[in-house]
Amino acid sequence: MPLQVLGINHHSAPLEVREKVAFPQEIQADALADLAAQPGIAEAVLVSTCNRTELYLRVPDAQPEAPNLGARFLSDHAGMNQQEADRYLYTLHDEAAVEHLFRVVASLDSMILGEAQIQGQVKSAYERAAEADGGFAVGPVLSRMFESALMVGGRVRSETRLGTGAASIPSAAIELARKIFGALKGRRALVLGAGEMSELTMECLRGEGVQDLLVSNRTEARAREVATRLGATAVGFERLPQVMGEVDIVVSATAAPHPVITRSLVEQAHVGGRKRPLLILDIALPRDVEPAVGDAANVFLYDIDDLSQVVEGNLERRRSEVAVAEGIISDGVLEFWHWYRGRNVVPTIRELRGWAEQVRERETRRALHGLNHLSARDQAAVEALTRQLLAKLLHSPTTRLREAAAEGRDAQTLEVARYLFALDDTVLERDAEWNGRKREP
């Protein structure tokens, strides 16, 4: 089982486990180089996002311990014992591993169906692997596999409506912001809270070009940690009246049991009235914002129910596209698998053609030696004729070998082909056998 994927994702593990296993981007190249240096690993790609950490491996058939190498690599990084890690790890092999990657890139395996970020994240992971350890982490198989997956992902996005419309609370918030402000580039945004929903919202805002991004949290150390990781600026809760007077967008996702944004806070922030629009998106439950805030001039307030209606309508449209996406993925997996299986017969085809070409050259040379009265043009015609004959004779065997490989019958077919053409003998033995047959009456 040379192709394998080992991983942990939002289906198999809670957030606190996924956080332990995740690899910060700055250490991924070094970690991958260490993994690829293991003797049981021929090729490796590491994909690590907020919802999944996965190892895509190609291992020699003679290395049955490779899955254990990958599992130990993940558990050691997470500081977990192997038994604990095994509760959350999944392992897929060969065609199932290929299909899994294609589904991941097409965002059918995402927490949010059709989300757009995963394709870019996988592409970046593949590019890092191609550069890691001098480019030795990735070889021809995983390169073809990831490039095929990215191509299939592109087809799913262009040929279906799977990515149409916001399909998460943070993305719905961004969709509403665009309706009010148009392009968000150059806008200032404040995010209250430092949990997963807040982080996703900050990533969405960054993706829309918001450069001036502030984050505030009751626990200031947590705000600073998130700000450092996502390139934002941490501000204390005590500065909210000042900061809210300077931003265009406020997204609140705290776990507070009572409102943190009140009508009086907004009025304090905008003494004399708000001169430009302020969008407040309350994605907390219970709500972070007093409903009366929405009555203030130039303040647009949306709560989680408003956003949920946007999301549900878009998700329903996305679900109707899943069958079409599955068909595109199936075609892509089949095409890759035919190519992959066909690789098994390439050495035999190359060897067969090499042996046949040696025979052709030798016999043509002998024939032309006795036909030295022919002109150079006629000798070239004889040479061309033998090449054409050889190509026609080998066309059917090589085609059948590739077809057998694509259908999974390569092992038996290769054995027969190698026996019939004596490809397991040495060159000298084959030549002696050939010359012996030539001397027979």
Domain layout of the chain by residue ranges: 3-164, 169-308, 341-439
Among the listed residues 1, 29, 31, 50, the single catalytic one is: 50
Query: What pLDDT is recorded for position 89?
Result: 94
Query: What pLDDT is recorded for position 274?
Result: 64
**Contacts of residue 337, Cβ cutoff 8 Å, sequence gap at least 6:** 95, 98, 406
Query: What pLDDT is recorded for position 64?
Result: 58
**Contacts of residue 135, Cβ cutoff 8 Å, sequence gap at least 6:** none
Helix, coil or strand: residue 406: helix
No. of H helices and E strands in the chain?
A: 18, 10
CB 209 within 8 A of CB 185: yes
**Contacts of residue 96, Cβ cutoff 8 Å, sequence gap at least 6:** none
Q: Token digits for 413?
A: 């077919």
Q: Write down the CATH superfamily of domain 3-164.
A: Glutamyl-tRNA reductase, N-terminal domain (3.30.460.30)
Q: Is 204 a catalytic residue?
A: no
Q: Which CATH class is domain 169-308?
A: alpha beta
* 3-9 vs 90-93, strand pairing mode: antiparallel
Q: pTM for the complete prediction?
A: 0.62
Sites in the chain below the pLDDT cut of 70: 1, 61-67, 133-135, 165-167, 271-274, 343-346, 405-411, 424-441
Query: What pLDDT is recorded for position 54?
Result: 95
Query: What pLDDT is recorded for position 426?
Result: 47
- DSSP bridge partners of 48: 53
Q: Token digits for 255?
A: 């776990």
Peptide bond just before 286 cis, omega within 30 deg: yes
For 132-176, the pLDDT digits (tens) are 766 678 888 999 999 999 999 999 999 998 877 666 778 788 888
